[in-house]
Structure 1
Amino acid sequence: MAAEDGHDHRLARIASSIRVIPDFPKPGIMFQDITTLLLDTKAFKDTIDMFVERYRDKNISVVAGVEARGFIFGPPIALAIGAKFVPLRKPKKLPGEVISEEYSLEYGTDKMEMHVGAVEAGERALVIDDLIATGGTLAAAIKLLERVGVEVVECACVIELPELKGRERLGDKPLFVLVSAV
């Protein structure tokens, strides 16, 4: 485990509360399970607090949460910094008119959708998810928001799998992570 600043005592608690499940959902995958983080009220609060401290004074008006685990972390951060929460969802999950962005996976493609009118040109957004692996999902979220004129200030994740080089797919967008999986 490592952190961007490397000095905050809360990071050890956060990292130790994440359960690693080998060979899930398929052989060779070391699944980073955040459900155990959510059961540890102190570690969960520390996680939210660390994101809030980072983004409180950055004039962010939108916290865009990537389905599904971005929905866990995004709303409390948005409330604490005075921003709205916008869900970025899988296809056919949002009622009403949507815009979508297709992105590639290891074995095909997927889409991410957002309600038309959920954001406005000129707004400043934080994109949040629980984990960055190959970076395809976060890259699609950035493209979706930028297509409608939103400035993506930063992407944030609880966990990074650095060996998958997902950070490289984000272009010039900064990425803030609390824990690097080893």
Structure 2
Amino acid sequence: MPAGRPRQFDPPVALGRATDLFWSRGYEGTSLQGLLAVTGLSRSSLYQTFGDKHHLFSQCLEHYREKTVSGMWQRLEDAPTGRVFVELTMRRAIDDRHAAGGPRGCLVLNTATEFGHRDPDVTRQVQAALSAFRAVFEEAVRRGQADGSITPSQSPQQLAVYLVAGMGGLRTLVKGGEVEALVDGACEMLLTALD
């Protein structure tokens, strides 16, 4: 029996391009034609590889979460203190204002806003991503408390939730076009919770 024709594309690359499109335009704003254009796939290849638009979006959310959380863990590992990691992460959130194509916010939080609770599968993915973000911040707080760079008076879990909310809020302010100086000031105020 002859082997099927080899794929003429790299699925991870196509998934990354689809993720970027959903991230820039949202789920409703992303058309099938747009997905075909950025991935370079035919309609049949897209469906055979990723399924329908909703299934592809689900895979893109997972891809975004894995890439984002992996990067956060690596930056925490590289940071000299827990506080340095938190500060760099917050400043990285506001540096999105200089992104090519304009700021996009956070795909997870954008999705939470767009979908609300109307899709249980998407809600579960959003919750899993937020939990993963919180886990990184909680470890950063524990390290910071151990190395003396973060106050020991706060609960690591509660401070981690606050930091996830702060990171999302900063990215949303930047995406919304808030005045840079005000966003920078909000970032500095957010970091005072570590003192």
- TM-score computed with the length of structure 1 as normaliser: 0.30
> Rg: which structure is higher?
2
Q: Which has the higher helix share?
A: 2
Q: Which has the higher strand share?
A: 1
- Higher relative CO (CA 8 A, sep ≥ 6), structure 1 or 2? 2
- TM-score computed with the length of structure 2 as normaliser: 0.29
